[in-house]
Structure 1
Amino acid sequence: MVDDGYEIEPVVDKYLRELRFGRDRAESTTKAYAESIALFLRWCVQTGRQWRSAARDLGLFIVWLKYARGDGSRVLAGPGVEQVRSDSRINKVLVAIRGFLSFAVAAREVPGWVLEQIYELGDTRDLPLAVQGEDLRLRYRLRARHSLHQPQKTMVDRATDEEVVALFRQCRSARDRLVVLLLARAGLRRGAVAGLRRCDLHLLPDNSVHLCQVKGAHLHVVRRNNPNRAVAKSRYSQAVPLDFLVVRAIELYLLEREEQPAAADCDFLLVNLFREPLGAPMLPGAINELFAALCVRAQLARAITPHQCRHGFASNLADSGALLDEIQGLLGHAWAASAQPYLHPSPDRLRNAVERVPSPRGLLEGTL
């Protein structure tokens, strides 16, 4: 990161490098933190503050974030004036600023009192009981001083089988059909789909061909620094089993891909076949564009996102009787609890759960 004179800000540069390489954060995360820190430094310059001591005025920084446009120009604040940034966006900026200032304190680039300005000492009594632990012992923690209240986040809903089928039927190429199935039948994230290489596919039943210990048709999700900025979220590689539908879709797509000579030298699985640059790796954003177009053509009552297909995949596993650790493994989560937000029980499964409970008819006779 550079200042207005195109001089590198050394402390910020060290922090972003530590974030990207030392803590192995995704490139997109590091970029978001860099943009947030840039806003903080811009505010310091515009208001004549030194960033090393500006932590005591973070309340004013929040007001600036609410009403300062992206180019730095300000608008008047007051009743009826629409915020430039949402409370959610402002809280994310503050998370980055707290991380940066904490790093600067640890690196002895700013005085220790800065931590007192961004954190206060709290305890566990204001946390939900499930988080406090079984012994309910009082524990102390650092609590952020500056944050805006946000309404409870709406949980991402699952894409139903009917919606996935409707999207699938509106696909105009084997590639697009494969994208839908990789999301809905393999549960991959958008970044993992766009980052797949042809060498990641192990489709033959004989695993000795690939010198791979995983049996059956599967693919490997591997985190790489890809030129199309497609990044697998987990730093650990994951083997994902594939069913017959996905394997068949891959075969049909590879036949379609062979008709485009420009794609021959590209190792990425999904490439541009119908628009420039031909043969280049498909961008993650193109998957969003595809789903937006499919939803319109399918005339769905609501817009379906690629991530909702992943939720539908996990929920279908649960509806079919899969255990939580199985769902965790298929989603590539390190902890079973991480799979919980992806589970949306179907109405039929909820009905069956009620009907499985024995009815004490003998005890109720004569009372109903």
Structure 2
Amino acid sequence: MVDDDLVVVKEADRFLRDVRLAQGRAETTTKAYAEGVSLFLRWSSRTGRDWRAAARDMGLFMVWLRWTPGNGGQRRTVIPGPGSRPVRGDSRINKVLTAVRMFLSHATVNRTVPGWGLEQVYELGDVRDLPAEARGEDGGMRVRLRARHRLQEPETDIDRASNEEIVAMFLACQSARDRLTVLLISRVGLRPGQATGLHRTDPHLMMDSRPLGCDAEGAHLHVIRRQNENNAWSKSKKSWVMPVDFLVVQGFDQYALERHDRLGPGGSDFLLVNLFRPPFGAPITPAAIGELFEALSRRAGLDRLITPRMGRHAMASNVADAGGRLDEVQALLGHKHAGSARPYLHPKESRLRDAVDRVPSPRAIEREVGR
């Protein structure tokens, strides 16, 4: 990362390298952090502040973020007032502030920023004000940090794709590869980066995989985090086994025939590759899945655009509708905590009706007690 004079900002460069390599963050995450830190450094430079001591004016930075474009165009500011629209929304500002806090914390650890800087961006506390159950079993003292500067974002719901919409998109596919892609997202629940990061050795579609050195039962996929040439990246740091059903197995079989017909035994080791445009055999990118879902939504004549994320939500909701517990949904989505799976659950109205109907009437309860 360089400043306005094209001089490398060593601390920022070291921070981003550590995020990418030592912490193992995705390239997209590292890029987002880089954009946030660059805005902070630009604001510090243009307002005559030393970034090492600028944490005390974080509130002014938030105002600058809301009303100042970051493209360096002729119009450097937007004047607040009736009819004026902020340059950045609350969500974007919060993401920038998160990157800046991490950058300043990293610089504090490396003694580039004075220790008092953390007190400007975090409220410092300890676990003594927490309930005993939340303090940990070792009884030791722990310091807690809470961000001082954070905007209240409106809650936004991510809708699930309905089964009818997914079927319509599936029928609108013009190749076995596209049909398998739709299944991997909406029936297996993979993220685009996980689907495009699959290698041909990751699917184990036999009932007994022990000859492959794998003890997992039944047909399944191995979702593995790798550094891939197509920038496909699994968000989950851990690897896990994902069971698949007979529809997905059929999708794999049909795609294998189509791929061999187009490429023979050639092509890259990636599972999903270019079959219909050059470079033939090269892995498709995560962005290509988003483009595919957009095209299928139009081709199927749907009333709205279905995104890969909505397909992943559909998979989680279908598991829950079929009686799956939260810990099962968590494991299938590759989440670390069970609570992470809750936003993915969108129960059918019929399931909600059944839940209400299962509640016994007061008379039934009275008769049961009378016995």
Letter in 2 for 1:360: P
Superimposed CA distance per residue, residues 87-113 of structure 1 (whole angstroms, 9 cap, x where no aligned partner) = 210111011101111111121111122
TM-score (normalised: structure 2): 0.89
Which residue in the other structure is 1:283 paired with?
A: 285
Q: 1:304 aligns with which of 294, 300, 306?
A: 306
Residue 181 (1) aligns with residue 186 (2): no
What's 1:118 paired with? Answer: 121
User: Contact 2:78–2:86 at 8 Å: present in 1 too?
Assistant: no
**Which residue number corresponds to residue 17 of structure 1?**
17
Rounded Cα–Cα distance in structure 2 between residues aligned with 1:324 and 1:231:
25
Cα 1:136–1:337 shift into 2, 3 Å: closer
Q: Does structure 2 retain, via aligned residues, the 8 Å contact 1:262–1:279?
A: no
Q: Does 1:27 align with 2:30?
A: no
Q: CA deviation at 1:323?
A: 2.2
**Are the counterparts in 2 of residues 319 and 346 from structure 1 also a CA contact under 8 Å?**
yes
Aligned length: 358
Unmatched 5+ stretches in structure 1: 127-131
Does the C-alpha gap of structure 1 residues 300 and 134 become closer, same or farther in structure 2, counting only changes over 3 Å?
Answer: farther
- 1:321 equivalent in alignment to 2:327: no
Q: In the aligned structure 2, how far is the partner of 1:55 from the partner of 1:262?
A: 59
Please tell me whether the aligned partners of residues 267 and 282 of structure 2 are also in contact (alpha carbons under 8 angstroms).
no
Shift of 1:205: 1.9
Aligned partners of 1:159, 1:35: CA distance in 2, in Å? 32
8 A contact 1:263–1:271 mirrored in 2: no
Q: How does 1:144-223 map to 2 (within 5 A)?
A: 144-151=147-154, 153-223=155-225
Q: TM-score, normalised by structure 1?
A: 0.90
Tell me the equivalent position of 1:66: 66
Match of 1:93 in 2: 96
Which amino acid in structure 2 is aligned with residue 220 of structure 1?
H
Output the CA distance in 1 between the equivalents of 2:24 and 2:124.
29
- Superposition deviation, residue 57 in structure 1: 2.0
Letter in 2 for 1:59: G
- The one-letter amino acid of 2:337's match is W
Q: Does 1:292 align with 2:333?
A: no
1:36: how far off? 0.7
Q: Is the 8 A contact 1:263 1:280 kept in 2?
A: no
Whether 1:106 aligns to 2:100 is no
Q: Deviations over 1:200-219 (max 9, x none)?
A: 11112231221111121111
CA distance in 2, matches of 1:54, 1:209: 60
Matched to 1:286, the amino acid is A
Paired with 1:91 and 1:123, the residues of 2 have a C-alpha distance of 24
Matched residue, 1:129: none
Instruction: Give, in whole Å, the separation in 2 of the partners of 1:209 and 1:362.
Output: 56
Distance, in Å, in 2 between the alignment partners of 1:325 and 1:248 is 28
- Cα distance in structure 1, aligned partners of 2:72 and 2:41: 11
CA, structure 1 residues 92+258, in 2 after alignment: closer, same or farther (shift >3 Å)?
same
Matched residue of 1:199: which SS? coil
- Name the Cα RMSD after superposition: 2.5
The 2-side partners of 1:313 and 1:12 are apart by 40
- The equivalent residue for 1:260 is 262
* CA deviation after TM superposition for structure 1 residue 249, in Å: 0.7
| Corresponding residue for residue 230 of structure 1 | 232
SS in 2 for 1:52: helix
Q: Tell whether the 8 Å contact from 1:207 to 1:216 is kept in structure 2 after alignment.
A: yes
Tell me by how many angstroms 1:54 deviates.
Answer: 1.5
CA distance in 2, matches of 1:87, 1:122: 26
Q: Letter of the aligned partner of 1:236 in structure 2?
A: K
Task: State whether residues 42 and 72 of structure 1, in contact with CA within 8 Å, keep that contact through their aligned partners in structure 2.
Answer: no
1:171-207 deviation digits (Å, cap 9, x = unpaired): 1111111111111111111110011110111112231
Query: Equivalent residue of 2:360, what SS?
Result: coil
2:276 paired residue among 260, 264, 274: 274
- Distance in 1 between the 2:125 and 2:148 partners? 10
**In 1: Cα distance, 2:189 partner to 2:210 partner:** 26
Residues 38, 186 of structure 1: alpha-carbon distance in 2 compared, 3 angstrom cutoff: same
